Amino acid sequence: MDYHLTLNWPDFIERYWQKRPVVLKRGFANFVDPISPDELAGLAMENEVDSRLVSHLDGKWQVSHGPFESYDHLDETNWSLLVQAVDHWHEPSAALMRPFRALPDWRIDDLMISFSVPGGGVGPHLDQYDVFIIQGTGRRRWRVGEKVPMKQHCPHPDLLQVDPFEGIIDEELEPGDILYIPPGFPHEGYSLENSLNYSVGFRAPSGRELFSGFADYILQRELGSQRYTDPDVPAREHPAEILPQEVDRLREMMQGLMNQPEQFQQWLGEFISQSRHELDVAPPEPPYQPDEIYDALQQGDKLARLGGLRVLKIGDDVFVNGEKIDSPHRPALNALAGNMVLESEHFGDALEDPSFLAMLAALVNSGYWFFEG
């Protein structure tokens, strides 16, 4: 199904993006759920899928992690089932991400879906990333507070909740309504009836994550092996002293590694194109031969991108799930990055190049693209 978002993106970005929370009434007109509660519950029973059950009974919060074998022990109130990265595992749900491509692909993370019974929720909390929460079936009440320093506490180790707050938004959301919340605004939602919610989350790497990822890249590539030298080591009054110019030289050694544009771009493309959650990769059996790919495309078959696969472009370079794709056929690479579904015309004369066909076959045989059934 195609979802159409009724949103003026330039106006939204100017007024709200990373600035203020807002309720977008009927953001999706005539909204239809892409998944049922039973399908969601089935996904949460799979080993590869990240899921949680959160309940609040007698003033106590409880969290259990999937995979789940049964739900027979659950009452009719005060619990929520949350499943992460559903766009990786359920193709109809992945379609819900596409209207948000008005924002950069590299910033979009994944789709979390929750099913909640009356009273179900995860308590007052705040996130360090942007999120659009789409209301599906049912009704849910949401409160959002002002962005002020708030004390976090842990009624349960898996729930980083905050103290009660005064709401600047307090509304019931109905199917198709969307609540946008920037980072740092405390919020709380609880269901008024059985309901589905869809959270489109955005990636916001911390400096710590970036340094850690770059350090791993340096070690893997055996970069930075040049050692510190000081042929004109300066005299000093105290042997224990590290002189300012020595501190500067050491810092410059470290900065020099990041100030190599080609290496930095290669690392960034590999790092930022990797998914944080497992992909539902199913390599075809038997593998496709390049000429079979060619024939299928010429006959009008379409290649669809695997849900959750990150395909990103930096300059002329295209990265797929942590790997750079090498080819001189730039328009065809741009098509790979820009389109969720590909036809023969997207590739142009690149299909006549055996090396490009071999690369495309390798991507399909990795399970990253597949022919639509």
* Residue 116 shares a structural domain with residue 256: no
- For residue 74 the two structure tokens come to 């659950």
* Residue 307 shares a structural domain with residue 268: no
Q: Does some domain include residue 281?
A: no
Backbone angles phi, psi at 145, to 5 degrees: -100, 175
Residue 318 in contact with residue 299, Cβ under 8 Å?
no
Give the pLDDT confidence of 316-335 residue by residue, as tens digits. 999 999 999 999 999 999 99
**Res. 258: pLDDT tops 80:** yes
* Residue 156 shares a structural domain with residue 173: yes
Full DSSP string of 122-165 = --SB--SS-EEEEE-SS-EEEEEE------EEEEETTEEEE---
Give the pLDDT confidence of 175-191 residue by residue, as tens digits. 999 999 999 999 999 99
Q: Does some domain include residue 235?
A: no
Q: Does some domain include residue 311?
A: yes
**Could you give the CA distance from residue 317 to residue 340 in angstroms, rounded to a whole number?**
18
**Res. 148: pLDDT tops 90:** no
Average pLDDT of the chain?
95
| pLDDT of 163 | 87
Q: Does some domain include residue 232?
A: no
| pLDDT of 58 | 85
* Residue 127 shares a structural domain with residue 30: yes
pLDDT band at 251 (very low <50, low <70, confident <90, very high): very high
User: Structural domain tally of the chain?
Assistant: 3
| pLDDT of 51 | 97
**Could you give the CA distance from residue 284 to residue 364 in angstroms, rounded to a whole number?**
8
| pLDDT of 233 | 96
* Residue 87 shares a structural domain with residue 147: yes
Domain hosting residue 314, numbered range: 290-371
**Res. 69: pLDDT tops 80:** yes
Q: Is 205 helix (H, G, I), strand (E, B) or coil?
A: coil
**Res. 194: pLDDT tops 80:** yes
* Residue 86 shares a structural domain with residue 128: yes
Q: Does some domain include residue 278?
A: no
Q: Does some domain include residue 144?
A: yes
* Residue 246 shares a structural domain with residue 358: no
Q: Looking at residue 344, which CATH number applies to its domain?
A: 3.40.366.30
Q: Looking at residue 24, which CATH number applies to its domain?
A: 2.60.120.650
pLDDT band at 153 (very low <50, low <70, confident <90, very high): confident
CA distances from 165 to 18, 124, 139, 159 (A): 20, 8, 22, 17
| pLDDT of 283 | 96
* Residue 175 shares a structural domain with residue 266: no
Q: Buried b vs exposed e over 258-283: b needs ≥16 C-beta within 10 Å?
A: eeeeebeebbbbbbbbebebbbbeee
pTM for the model stands at 0.92
Give the pLDDT confidence of 298-319 residue by residue, as tens digits. 999 999 999 999 999 999 999 9
**Could you give the CA distance from residue 310 to residue 110 in angstroms, rounded to a whole number?**
10
**Res. 40: pLDDT tops 90:** yes
Q: What percent of the chain has pLDDT over 70?
A: 99
* Residue 246 shares a structural domain with residue 159: no
Residue 290 in contact with residue 360, Cβ under 8 Å?
yes
Q: Mean pLDDT throughout 251-266?
A: 95
Backbone angles phi, psi at 347, to 5 degrees: -95, -20
**Could you give the CA distance from residue 117 to residue 363 in angstroms, rounded to a whole number?**
41
Residue 188 in contact with residue 143, Cβ under 8 Å?
yes
> Which runs of consecutive H residues, i.e. helices, occur in the chain?
9-15, 37-43, 91-94, 207-221, 244-258, 261-272, 290-298, 330-338, 344-347, 354-365
**Res. 152: pLDDT tops 80:** no
